Amino acid sequence: MTKLSSPVGHQMANLPLDPMYSKALILAAEFKCLEEMLMVVTMLSVESIFYFPQEKLEEARAAGKSFSSPEGDHISMLNVYRTSAESLEKNKIANVKEKTLEKKLNKWCRENFINYRSLRHARDIHRTLASGQTMRMHPSSVLFCTKADCIIFN
């Protein structure tokens, strides 16, 4: 158990997340998988990402299997997030307007039996958490000449 008075506890207290997710993100930074963990945490922070309508149950299950992973549900969620991001990026490259992008994402979600509102909410959470402020290191800092992926401080 991490105490709030520990350095990790202070870092966790500064993140606007469930403590379990905060600790996961802090540890992910140490293991150099922060971006992936951020995607998983955002997906876990929303309502169920998949939906299974009774009238199309088999089709929905087949669509869900296209994202599944033998490594578990977290990797499946990561697959959904990444695949949706790739779909959006392809449309952005094609210079599709923002409103049309959302329509295309909504269509992609329907085709893959993904809850559009949950995915959109996850993307919003990801954007909020990932948009940390840019800062410069003071010349006296030991980090001055390094290029860190992220810095968590209090």
Question: Which letter, b or e, does each residue of 93-124 get, where b requires 16 or more Cβ atoms within 10 Å of its Cβ?
Answer: eeeeeeeebeebbeebbeebbbbbebbbbbbe
Mean pLDDT of 115-124: 96
Residue 4 has pLDDT above 50, yes or no: yes
Q: Are 125 and 116 in contact (CB under 8 A)?
A: no
Mean pLDDT of 18-41: 93
Mean pLDDT of 19-37: 92
Residue 7 has pLDDT above 90, yes or no: no
Of the candidates 152, 154, 132, 126, the residue with the CA atom closest to the CA atom of residue 29: 152
pTM over 0.85: no
Mean pLDDT of 46-69: 96
pLDDT given for residue 135 in this prediction: 52
Specify the range with the lowest mean pLDDT, choosing from 76-80, 81-85, 126-130: 126-130
**Across all residues in the chain, what is the average pLDDT?**
86
